[in-house]
């Protein structure tokens, strides 16, 4: 939308005021005589030609649809009674499936018709895709006739050959004929049907099928009048009809209009018809459609009602009426007969139908309330002077007016009586359309004495404000007025309005100009002022609300040297040195977030520039730059990181686009920020470095980045290590990488020191395979490596647990929480038969290929085994772990060449395989009478006899006597 921001932006609205109000109000409306109108009762009379200003220029006489050469015979005063008819007792026949017709095909056949009889609606209710509104079928009625009232019919081109005499003989005494539709269709059979009805003595009239979304109500009213919709008080011309009902064409049931738009359209049509014909039109509709599409408006009670309702069985009334009507004038009760077209009944006798058509017309009744309130108002306002007109009614919403020398008193039941007088406020009201506009009727007197010589007057729809400097402008009730009121009305920072409110903007928005600038409103953004000056100029250059910035979403925040204002699509920033620049959504959100965090980004100094690699954009600010790409998003860069990134080659260099915001300390002395190809970091103690993207930066950030276990990087990444490995030094250690283990930390401390002594990644442990994990029993820590695990506690120091059987046995014993505790040595190998061992706080793990890895957790047993010569002694390697829980708290452990039994009372004793052990076992081991051994087995030098003592006795053996037991 292009427009300048001066007073010329004010909407130029077509004048719809009555001719009396278009003239000088000081002189009064200038009408004399009594006004006439039509209500729903049988007292229809003509009203004065209260034409609009536009209609004065080219008055439209009421047409005479019938040819001048034909003068039908007058209707008899008392027509013959219609013959009794016997309607069929069956329900309406099923309507066969019909081809969905286009609008052009429908118009060729006769267009839309009353009651939605067209196939497009009857057989295809879902015209309005996505509409939540419904279309009520009116084609399921029975065929019967009411027993009271005057019968009649309505027809269109869809009934090309009406037997008018036959319809008269069946009892029809009035007829309505379709004359027009929208501003694009006229019934080519109208004249013949209209005159045919009259020729047999029927009272007849014309109806117009409304298509509200195609043109204004006034335009369709003029089209209707020009094509048969006129009226004259000749006694046989019924008042014109507005057929307003379900949409037969594209769009939803309500023609894609809101209830407020629909009621405004109907008022526009009705008031134009009143001006052109002197009569308000009859409204034809259904209660269902009226409820949906006007929100059951009660504002049209002064219009006659023609209600459509099709009961399946005889009924005495059409049922529930739309709001505002307590009765109806005509009831369309069937589209299936007995008459051609639709069948109708007049709610009254034939005499009242004749009065409705215009004979014996009675004057409009001036409501007693109007007379009382206008007289009371005039009495309390002597400055009005003498009367210039009688009270004249028939205005919108049943209103009236009376002219005085000093102005015109306007009245409606809702607004009471107030005067409008010559001057800029009344001139603005008339330009809007007077009482038929959004302003409606006045609800207060004109009040002056405001700031700078201003005046205002309240109306039903808002206020008209005037000052010598700004002229008069209408401020309607709503969010813009509420926001202006919150600022202090004309005394606030916005000042007086300088234009009327203009709506219909993008997203249903509105704007209104004030002295301070332009106020914009939408449902999502609210009402906000864009101040005149550089911010408004920048927004205008961007395309106002239709540009990328959209609607303002906050008021501007300004100092003496800068301003910022938020919009739905971005921000405008202004400084006295760099001017005003838009910052669009994306970069704008990043800018707002950076400023909220206290980053020294400053205000924009140039417009966004695009066309970078990968569809990227950037924008320069006082303290830095914001980079955007579709793949990475928008992020700000400032200070050392911005300089470092620029030196690396900008977005095309070794870092690429930023992928995250900078994370900095309070005074920007330490920061880190991620990029496509790495993360840049620096601190007061470290130079700026890059942690490469991939495993290295992932590991660093998982450890807490600069605030984590490693701290800031102190070197670049160095590669070329064993097996394709890399490392990078940090303030608190190093990151080690290998394809097999990934990137893992090596933190300063005893575990790293131990690993270093082992030869770093070139030693037996290889690369670290996990982080250092602490919090173990005894405040211990461990770290896994490709070749094993380093365990540390303050008491045991750091020791490696190489992968293999020894480590597995330690794991099976419960790690450091088990019976062995932390290792106290490294694994030692090279023992007899390929054996190995490792010492622990609470024992030893012994291993040989033949015996496997066994824990030695019992100190007495281990000590006794040591006296035998360890694995090289008489017992050899252990073949089991120590097993305790025996009688009297005893334990035992098996070895390759025997067993060691222990109890507190007997000590640790060796049981060698042979006759003595077998005899002891046969007597129940330690649970037998002999209990635990108290010595080892002793033999003679020739090995021909041996003995061993036990708690309960002695076992002896000799080669000659065999085994003998002696109990104590």
Question: Mind telling me the catalytic residues?
Answer: 154, 243, 245
- DSSP letter at 130 equals T
Write out the two tokens for 434.
Answer: 């007077």
How many Å apart are CA 767 and CA 777, to the nearest integer?
25
Neighbours of 762 (CB within 10 A): 13
How buried is residue 873: exposed, middle or buried, by Cβ count under 10 Å (0-12/13-18/19+)? middle
Contact 680, 672 (CB under 8 A): yes
Collapsing DSSP states into helix, strand and coil, what is residue 419?
A: strand
User: Which residues are 966's β-sheet partners?
Assistant: 954
Report d(CA 208, CA 109) in Å as an integer: 16
Task: Give Cβ neighbours of residue 489 (< 8 Å, ≥ 6 apart).
Answer: none
Contacts of 705-709 spanning 24+ positions with Cβ under 8 A: 705/663, 705/672, 705/679, 705/681, 706/663, 706/670, 706/672, 706/681, 709/733, 709/745, 709/747, 709/771, 709/772
Burial of 27 by CB count in 10 Å (0-12 exposed, 13-18 middle, 19+ buried)? Answer: middle
Distance spanning both ends of the chain, measured CA to CA? 120
Which helix (H) or strand (E) segment holds residue 861: the answer is helix 859-867
What are the angstrom distances between the C-alpha of 717 and each of 205, 438, 759, 907, 934? 95, 73, 20, 61, 67
Question: In degrees, to the nearest 5, what angle opens at C-alpha 117 toward C-alphas 111 and 119?
Answer: 75
User: Could you give the CA distance from residue 283 to residue 332 in angstroms, rounded to a whole number?
Assistant: 12
If you write DSSP's letter for every residue of 529-572 in order, what string do you get?
A: EEETTHHHHHHHHTTGGGSTT-SB-S--EE-SSEEEEEETTEEE
CA 621 to chain centre: 32
CA-CA-CA-CA torsion for 18, 20, 22, 26, nearest 10 degrees?
-140
Count of positions (residues) in the chain? 968
Rounded CA separation 650/10 (Å): 49
Secondary structure of residue 575 in the 3-state scheme: strand
DSSP 330: E
Distance CA 411, CA 385 (A): 18
- Closest C-alpha to 765, from 745, 784, 742: 784
**Tokens at residue 65, please?**
């649809």
Listed as own residue / partner, the contacts of 3-7 with beta carbons closer than 8 Å and 24 or more positions apart are 3/544, 4/540, 5/513, 5/517, 5/518, 5/532, 5/536, 5/540, 7/471, 7/498, 7/499, 7/513
Quickly list DSSP for 186-242.
E-TTHHHHHHHHHHTT-EEEEEEE--TTTS-HHHHHHHHHHTT----SSSSBPPPEE
CA–CA gap between residue 347 and residue 116 (Å, rounded): 23
Tokens 């027509």 — which residue?
Answer: 79
d(CA 692, CA 684): 21
Burial class (CB in 10 A: 0-12, 13-18, 19+), 752: buried
- Cα angle vertex 824, ends 822, 828, to 5°? 120
């Amino acid at each position: 939308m292009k427009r300048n921001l001066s007073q010329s932006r004010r909407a130029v609205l077509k004048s719809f005021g009555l001719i009396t109000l278009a003239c000088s109000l000081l002189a009064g409306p200038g009408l004399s005589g009594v006004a006439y109108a039509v209500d729903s009762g049988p007292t229809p009379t003509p009203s004065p030609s209260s034409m609009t200003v536009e209609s004065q220029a080219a008055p439209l006489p009421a047409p005479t649809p019938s040819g001048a050469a034909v003068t039908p015979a007058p209707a008899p005063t008392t027509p013959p009674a219609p013959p009794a008819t016997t309607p069929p007792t069956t329900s309406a026949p099923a309507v066969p499936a019909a081809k969905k017709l286009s609008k052009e095909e429908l118009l060729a056949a006769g267009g839309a018709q009353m009651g939605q009889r067209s196939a497009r609606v009857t057989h295809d209710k879902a015209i309005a895709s996505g509409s939540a509104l419904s279309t009520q079928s009116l084609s399921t009625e029975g065929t019967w006739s009411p027993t009271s009232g005057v019968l009649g019919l309505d027809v269109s081109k869809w009934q090309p050959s009406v037997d008018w005499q036959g319809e008269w003989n069946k009892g029809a005494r009035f007829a309505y004929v379709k004359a027009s539709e929208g501003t694009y269709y006229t019934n080519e059979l109208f004249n013949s049907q209209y005159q045919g009805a009259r020729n047999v003595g029927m009272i007849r009239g014309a109806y117009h099928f409304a298509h509200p979304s195609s043109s204004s109500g006034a335009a369709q009213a003029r089209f209707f009048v020009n094509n048969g919709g006129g009226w004259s008080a000749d006694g046989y011309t019924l008042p014109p009809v507005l057929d307003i009902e379900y949409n037969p064409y594209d769009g939803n049931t309500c023609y894609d209009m809101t209830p407020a738009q629909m009621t405004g359209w109907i008022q526009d049509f009705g008031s134009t018809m009143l001006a052109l014909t002197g009569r308000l039109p009859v409204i034809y509709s259904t209660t269902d459609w009226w409820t949906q599409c006007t929100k059951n408006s009660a504002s049209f009670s002064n219009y006659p009602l023609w209600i459509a309702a099709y009961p399946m069985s005889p009924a005495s009334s059409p049922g529930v009426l739309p709001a505002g009507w307590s009765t109806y004038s005509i009831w369309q009760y069937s589209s299936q007969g007995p008459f051609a077209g639709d069948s109708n009944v007049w709610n009254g006798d034939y005499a009242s139908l004749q009065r409705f058509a215009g004979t014996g017309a009675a004057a409009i009744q001036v409501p007693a309330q109007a007379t009382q309130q206008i007289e009371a108002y005039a009495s309390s306002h002597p400055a009005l002077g003498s009367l210039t007109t009688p009270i004249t009614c028939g205005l919108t919403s049943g209103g009236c007016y009376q002219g005085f020398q000093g102005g015109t008193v306007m009245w409606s039941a809702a607004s009471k009586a107030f005067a409008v007088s010559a001057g800029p406020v009344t001139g603005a009201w008339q330009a809007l359309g007077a009482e038929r506009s959004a302003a409606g009727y006045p609800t207060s007197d004109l009040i002056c004495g405001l700031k700078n010589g201003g005046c205002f007057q309240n109306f039903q729809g808002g206020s008209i404000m005037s000052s010598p400097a700004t002229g008069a402008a209408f401020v309607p009730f709503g969010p813009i007025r509420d926001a202006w009121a919150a600022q202090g009305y004309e005394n606030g920072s916005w000042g007086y309005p300088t234009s009327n409110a203009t709506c219909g903007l993008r997203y249903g928005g509105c704007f209104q100009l004030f002295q301070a600038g332009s106020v914009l409103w939408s449902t999502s953004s609210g009402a906000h002022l864009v101040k005149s000056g550089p911010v408004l100029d920048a927004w205008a250059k961007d395309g106002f609300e239709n540009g990328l910035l959209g609607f303002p979403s906050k008021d501007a925040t300004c100092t003496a040297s800068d301003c910022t204002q938020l919009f739905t699509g971005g921000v405008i920033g202004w400084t006295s040195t760099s001017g005003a620049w838009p910052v669009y959504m994306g970069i704008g959100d990043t800018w707002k977030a950076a400023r909220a965090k206290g980053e020294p980004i400053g205000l924009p100094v140039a417009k966004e520039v695009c066309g970078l690699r990968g569809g990227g954009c950037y924008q320069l600010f006082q303290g830095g730059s914001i980079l955007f790409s579709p793949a990475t998003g928008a992020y700000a860069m400032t200070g050392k990181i911005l300089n470092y990134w620029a030196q690396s080659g900008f977005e095309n260099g070794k870092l690429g686009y930023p992928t995250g915001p900078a994370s900095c300390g309070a005074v920007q002395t330490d920061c880190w920020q991620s990029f496509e190809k790495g993360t840049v970091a620096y601190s007061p103690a470290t130079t700026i470095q890059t942690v490469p993207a991939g495993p290295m930066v992932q590991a660093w950030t998982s450890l807490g980045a600069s605030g984590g276990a490693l701290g800031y990087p102190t070197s670049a990444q160095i590669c070329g290590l064993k097996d394709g490995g890399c490392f990078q030094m940090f303030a608190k250690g190093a990151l080690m990488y290998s394809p097999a283990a990934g990137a893992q930390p090596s933190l300063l401390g005893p575990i790293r020191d131990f690993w270093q002594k082992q030869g770093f990644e070139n030693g037996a442990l290889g690369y670290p395979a996990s982080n250092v994990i602490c919090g173990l029993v005894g405040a211990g820590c461990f770290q896994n490596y490709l070749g094993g695990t380093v365990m540390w506690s303050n008491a045991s120091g750091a020791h490696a647990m190489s992968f293999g059987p020894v480590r597995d046995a330690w794991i099976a014993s419960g790690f450091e929480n088990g019976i062995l505790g932390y290792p106290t040595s490294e694994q030692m190998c090279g023992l007899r038969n390929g054996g190995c061992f490792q010492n622990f706080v609470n024992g030893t793990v012994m291993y040989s290929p033949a015996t496997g890895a066994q824990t030695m957790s019992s100190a007495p047993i281990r000590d006794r085994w040591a006296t035998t010569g360890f694995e090289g002694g008489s017992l050899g390697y252990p073949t089991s772990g120590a097993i305790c829980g025996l009688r009297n708290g005893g334990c035992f452990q098996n070895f390759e060449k025997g067993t060691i039994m222990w109890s507190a009372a007997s000590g640790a004793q060796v049981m060698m395989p042979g006759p003595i052990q077998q005899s002891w076992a046969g007597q129940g081991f330690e649970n037998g009478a002999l209990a635990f051994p108290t010595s080892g087995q002793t033999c003679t030098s020739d090995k021909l006899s041996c003995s061993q003592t036990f708690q309960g006795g002695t076992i002896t053996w000799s080669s000659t006597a065999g085994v003998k037991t002696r109990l104590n």
